[in-house]
Chain A
Amino acid sequence: QSVLTQPPSVSAAPGQKVTISCSGRSSNIGSNYVSWYQQLPGTAPKLLIYDNNKRPSGIPDRFSGSKSGTSATLGITGLQTGDGADYYCGTWDSSLSAGVFGGGTKLTVL
């Protein structure tokens, strides 16, 4: 059971928009920055969003992040078939003194 809660799967058609939610508590999302990772099959995770809503160099602005209270959301617009992957949210939990991840969301671009 992951500390952060994500939906197991989401799907949408090419060109559409999708959002992935990540729910936590005051000790993690509520008091620390949230990051998002994309993991394509058979590869290592890749940082997509950091500090709740910032994109590393090279990440297209189709990807966006937001945070409100103890929840965070990853948004992807203009879906492409290559966006099909597993997406994970992560943060630090100040009570556990530990990093925590969501269980991951599998995005299918139909």
Chain B
Amino acid sequence: QLLESGGGLVQPGGSLRLSCAASGFTLSGYAMSWVRQAPGKGLEWLSHITGSGGSTYYADSVKGRFTIFRDNSKNTVYLQMNSLRVEDTAVYYCAKVFSLGTFDYWGQGTLVTVSS
């Protein structure tokens, strides 16, 4: 099971850190991703981190503003979000990567609202 936390209301230009904790399995052996869904919209892949944390990938829409990292000792993956924009408002999901571009387990999502 994956459980996201850290969502909430933040002003434009602000920062937020999302967490994704795993229970029932060890995250360290698996790559992980973050995917978001704006209200009434489709899925948007955001970022990927390898099991060791040694390699990361980002969507152009968040590159330079968001950072994915992990603490395998805490069985947790994070998404640090800086310079937030109104258009970043969405439900953010963490997902376990089965293979590049395929996600076999998803968290329940956490809502991030960027508004003044």
- A-side residues, CB < 8 A to B, are 2, 32-33, 35, 37, 39, 44-47, 50-51, 56, 86, 88, 90-93, 96-104
In the assembled complex, the CB of B16 is this many whole angstroms from the nearest CB of chain A, namely 20
Set B57, B93, B108: member contacting A98, Cβ < 8 A: B57
In the assembled complex, the CB of A16 is this many whole angstroms from the nearest CB of chain B, namely 25
| B53 at interface by CB-CB < 8 Å | no
Closest to A94 in B: B100
What number of A-B contacts does a CB cutoff of 8 Å give? 75
- B-side residues, CB < 8 A to A, are 33, 35, 42-45, 48, 57-60, 93, 98-109
Interface centre among B45, B58, B98, B102 (most CB of A within 10 A): B102
| Pairs across A and B, CB under 8 Å, 10 listed | A33-B101, A44-B108, A51-B102, A90-B101, A90-B102, A92-B100, A99-B45, A99-B101, A100-B101, A101-B35
**Which residues does chain A contribute within 8 Å of B57, judged by CB atoms?**
97-99
A101 to B43, alpha carbons, bound, how many Å? Answer: 6
**Which residues does chain B contribute within 8 Å of A45, judged by CB atoms?**
35, 43, 93, 103, 106
A46/B45 in contact, CB under 8 A: no
* Contacts A35-B101, A98-B59 given; does A46 touch B43 at CB 8 Å: no
